[in-house]
Amino acid sequence: MYFILISSWLGIVGFMRVSLFSQEFAMLLAGVTRPVRLSSPKAKAASQVFLKKKDSDDVSTLPVKLSVVIPAFNEEARIASTISHLSAYLDMQDKSYEIIISDDGSNDQSSLLVRQIVAENGNVRLIREHRNQGKGAAVKRGIMAARGEMIIFMDADLSYPVETISLCIDALQNYDIAIGSRNLPGSEIKIRPSLLRQLTGPLFKAAVSKLVISGYSDTQCGFKGFRAGAAVKIFSNCSINGFAFDVEVLALARMFGYSVTEVPVSLILDSSDSKINLTTDPLKMFSELMQVRRKMKMISRPDNEPLRFSEKQYEMKS
C-alpha cells in the first residue's frame, strides 16, 4: 500500500515537472523570459542591519485574551496589509489581543516593514529567525512566545476571512482545539484549486490516514486554534518543521487526549502552491509522515522516556 501511494505521488510529480519544463521551453522559443526580481542595495543593507539585532521585540508579559500567530517568509508584498486588515477586525472585538509575526528567515523587507508597524502598534510583535527553517518551525516559535489564553495561527495571505476567528473562539469555549476544514458541509471553496492541489491532495490525505492518523476531514488547513495549555504542551513536543507539522500536531493532540473539533471555513485565496518545490517537497512530505509515524510508535512504548514538557511554560499560559 505504501509503495503504491509513493509511486503514484512520484508519477504525478514527474508529470508536473515535465509540464513546467515544457512551459519554460515554449517561452524560451517565443523569446519570453520570466521577470527576475532583484533586491535593491538599500533593501539588502537594511536586511544586514537587522540580522545583527535581537530576534524578538521586548513587550509586556501581561496576558491577553487572544494571540494570533502569522508565520511569514518573504511576504513584503502583503504583510503590511495583512496586519492592517487583521488589526481592524480585532479592534472591533471585545478582547485584548496580540498579533505575532513569526518571520522564518525572510530575505526581503518583510521584517523591516513589520518593525515599522511594531513601533506604532503595541498589539503587534515580531519574532525573527535568521535562517529559513520551515513553516512548522515558524508556527512553533510564535505559539511558544504567545501570551494569549487562546492562540490561533493563520496564513499571511489571509486565505480564510478574518471572521473565521470568531467561529474559532466560539468553538474553543467547548473544545481544547478547533481546526479549520475545507471539506465540511458548511465550507466554501471560492477559488479553483490548482492542478497540483487536485492531484496531490487526495494522495497526501490517504497517506496521512494510512500512516499516521485518521478521522479528520482536513489536516492541512492553515487555520487552527488552541487553548493555551494545549498549545504549549503540544508544540513543545513538536519536531517537524515542514508541511507535515499539522499532522504531528493532531497526532500529539490525540495522544494527549485533547478534545478537537473541526469548523467550516471559506477558502478565498491560496498562494501556498507557489512555495512548493516539485523536485524535493513531495519526498520530504512522505519522509516527515514516516518520522511522525515512528515518533508516535516510540512514544507509545511503555519503556520509553516521557515527553518533554516544561511545567513552568504551562503555568505561564494558564
Query: What confidence tens digit (pLDDT) does each residue in 30-83 have?
Result: 333 333 333 444 343 333 333 333 455 545 578 999 999 999 999 999 999 999
Beta bridge partners of 189: 267
Q: Compute mean pLDDT per 10 residues along the chain, 318 residues long, and list them.
A: 51 46 40 38 38 48 93 96 98 96 97 97 96 95 98 96 96 98 92 74 88 93 97 96 94 96 92 63 87 89 49 31
Predicted pLDDT of residue 147: 97
In whole angstroms, give the CA distance from residue 250 to residue 260. Answer: 9
Predicted pLDDT of residue 284: 87
Query: Are the C-beta atoms of residues 271 and 179 closer than 8 Å to each other?
Result: no
Predicted pLDDT of residue 310: 36
Kindly give the residue spans of alpha helices, DSSP state H, lying in the chain: 2-29, 41-51, 79-91, 110-118, 135-145, 164-171, 195-211, 228-235, 245-256, 281-299, 311-317
Indicate the SS3 state at residue 110: helix
Q: What are the DSSP calls for 6-61, one per residue?
A: HHHHHHHHHHHHHHHHHHHHHHHHTT---------HHHHHHHHHHHTS-SB-----
Indicate the SS3 state at residue 205: helix
Predicted pLDDT of residue 280: 73
